[in-house]
Structure 1
Amino acid sequence: MGVKDWWQRRFGEAAEDEYVVPAPPTEADVLAALNRVNAMLREHNAPAVVTTRVLRIARTIHQTLPRLRGLGLASQEGYSIVATATDYLPEAVGGYLRLPRQWADTRPVEGSKTSLMLLIEQLDLLTVTMDQIADAANRADAQALIAHGRFLDAKFGHHADGGTDLSLGTP
């Protein structure tokens, strides 16, 4: 019998429930969030200018996710991808789609910008950010390939005398 049980029996009060930390999102959670955004676009017949941008962001995320396995979704890059797929992208698209289309596409809401213009700016910013993360993930693999090539060249490449060392036992 623990203190919690004793407290509940003694005073008839429920002890404070323990907070359970939710599991971190998985790749499947990220892809499911992207599918929900895609469904919102289809359901609301979003303009092509919006749909093409969202699909580009989704494609970049989908292609980058496997490359982040080494870093984990808890890395800064992983966090940005998860937040974009599960929060930033759905919030931006959802906010636009909740507005009447004619009003959203023609009525200035911030200076001379319409809701559609604001959404496009937000989607373009997300596109650039996701592209930068994808480039960084690819660059890490490219650097590993370069380093491996240098190792192989040092191990088996041409020597200063113009000859080639083909013996496997020589360092």
Structure 2
Amino acid sequence: MASLADLVARVFGRQRAAEPAERLVLPSVPTSADLLAAVERVEALVADGAVPAPVASRVARVTRVVRETIPRLDRIGAGSLDAYSVMATATDYLPEAVGGYLRLPRDWANSRPVDNGRTSLMVLIDQLDLLARTMDLVFDAVNRSDAAALVAHGRFLAEKFGTHSTGGQLEIGQITPLPPEPTP
């Protein structure tokens, strides 16, 4: 049905200005606080014995590494695959895995095979182990860049000021006894 403005515009041979198209609004990138809040929500899901101990310990491992990685995300760049993996683990992958398991009746989830003889509990544990390994790799990558910077700085200092130390390496098996205390 045409509006009055459309009719007037047609009568006078003018085209009515096109209505602005709906703007696509993208969700904002989660902040560190958003990621930590997502981790806290998952931790609350598994609190107070809501899941078996093997699940709780695996969730704790994943959330610990995510928590340790979040403050370092600026070192790897917001657009990197590693940064995305941390964000998605905190806000989507981990909550969805735990939530999917928790939506099932406990006894059924822990006893009925659902995937090649594996129960929902076994499937969840496999997913949590995969997330833990992935977060460990991301954390290692983040820290490797800082470690590489430390090594490069050490080389710079050695070139600038002379030889470098051995780094305090211990000679295993080469214990030198302390000299005897002087007698008074």
Q: TM-score, normalised by structure 2?
A: 0.76
Shift of 1:16: 3.4
Q: Which amino acid aligns with 1:127?
A: A
Which residue among 50, 63, 68 is the counterpart of 1:63?
68
Structure-2 separation of matches of 1:115 and 1:11: 59
Which residue among 77, 86, 89 is the counterpart of 1:81?
86
Shift of 1:158: 3.4
| SS of residue in 1 equivalent to 2:114 | strand
- Structure with greater Cα Rg: 2
Q: Which amino acid aligns with 1:10?
A: A
Which residue among 33, 39, 42 is the counterpart of 2:38?
33
Q: Which amino acid aligns with 1:74?
A: G
Write 1 or 2 for the structure with the bigger share of helix.
1
| Residue in 1 that maps onto 2:172 | none
* Identical-pair percentage: 55
8 A Cα contact 2:75 2:142, kept in partner: no
Q: TM-score, normalised by structure 1?
A: 0.82
Shift of 1:14: 6.3
Structure-2 separation of matches of 1:113 and 1:63: 32
Structure-1 separation of matches of 2:107 and 2:23: 49
Alignment of 1:1-171 (within 5 A): 10-11=5-6, 15-42=20-47, 45-158=50-163
Moved segments of 4+, more than 2 Å: 8-17, 70-74
Show CA shifts across 1:44-87 (max 9, x none).
71111111101110110110111221223321110000001111
- RMSD across aligned C-alpha pairs, in angstroms? 2.2
Shift of 1:39: 1.4
